[in-house]
Structures are given as structure tokens and as C-alpha cells.
């Protein structure tokens, strides 16, 4: 499956283990120069929210569908450690 960033950043991220909506894809993390995507940055859609963005590793992604990204997270992912 090929998904471009413009389509990906509009998708809702849902944890299939508890049905909870984590937010929407806001950014991606990739390695350079290999260009391998390693994680998604997920934030809730509210620009006034005080919640920290989350880093969801690509290994946790079950499926990228038409409307949502389904992930399996047994515990809440760590907030993004912005450098």
C-alpha cells in the first residue's frame, strides 16, 4: 500500500485494544538518509489542547485504512520528546 503524507495526516488514529481515539496524524519520523518511516506523531485535533503529542512507533500500526490508522497499544505511548 502506498500512502502519501497529505492523505495520512488527515487520518484518525484508533487503538484497537480499547477502542480509544488517540488523535490524528500530525507528522512522521523517518531515518536519514535511508528514508525509512519509524513513527507517527499523533496529536488531538484541538489546537488549544494542553495534551502533549504522542509518538506511535510504526511497529504498533495494524492497518492504514481509508479513514483511520488502527494501532495496538497495550499502554499509552510516551509523549513526544521534542529536542
Given this model, what pLDDT does residue 77 score? 64
Domain with residue 67: its CATH number is: 2.30.30.240
Given this model, what pLDDT does residue 51 score? 78
Global pTM reads 0.81
Count the neighbouring beta carbons within 10 Å of the beta carbon of residue 42.
Answer: 23
Given this model, what pLDDT does residue 82 score? 56
Given this model, what pLDDT does residue 44 score? 82
User: Which of these, 6, 14, 8, lies nearest to 66 by C-alpha position?
Assistant: 8
Q: What is the mean pLDDT of residues 6-15?
A: 91
- Return the SS3 of 73: coil
Whether 81 is covered by a domain: the verdict is: no
Q: Give the range of the structural domain holding residue 29, as residue numbers without chain letter.
A: 5-71
Structural domain total, the chain? 1
Tell me the per-residue pLDDT of 16-75, one tens digit each, with 9 for 90 and over.
999 999 999 999 999 999 989 999 999 887 767 777 889 999 999 999 999 999 999 887
Amino acid at each position: 500500500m502506498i500512502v502519501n503524507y497529505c492523505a495520512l495526516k488527515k487520518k484518525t488514529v484508533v487503538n484497537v485494544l480499547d477502542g480509544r481515539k488517540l488523535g490524528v496524524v500530525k507528522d512522521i519520523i523517518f531515518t536519514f538518509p535511508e528514508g525509512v518511516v519509524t513513527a507517527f506523531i499523533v496529536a488531538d485535533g484541538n489546537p488549544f489542547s494542553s495534551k502533549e503529542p504522542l509518538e506511535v512507533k510504526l511497529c504498533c500500526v495494524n492497518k492504514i485504512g481509508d479513514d483511520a490508522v488502527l494501532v495496538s497499544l497495550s499502554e499509552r505511548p510516551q509523549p513526544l520528546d521534542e529536542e
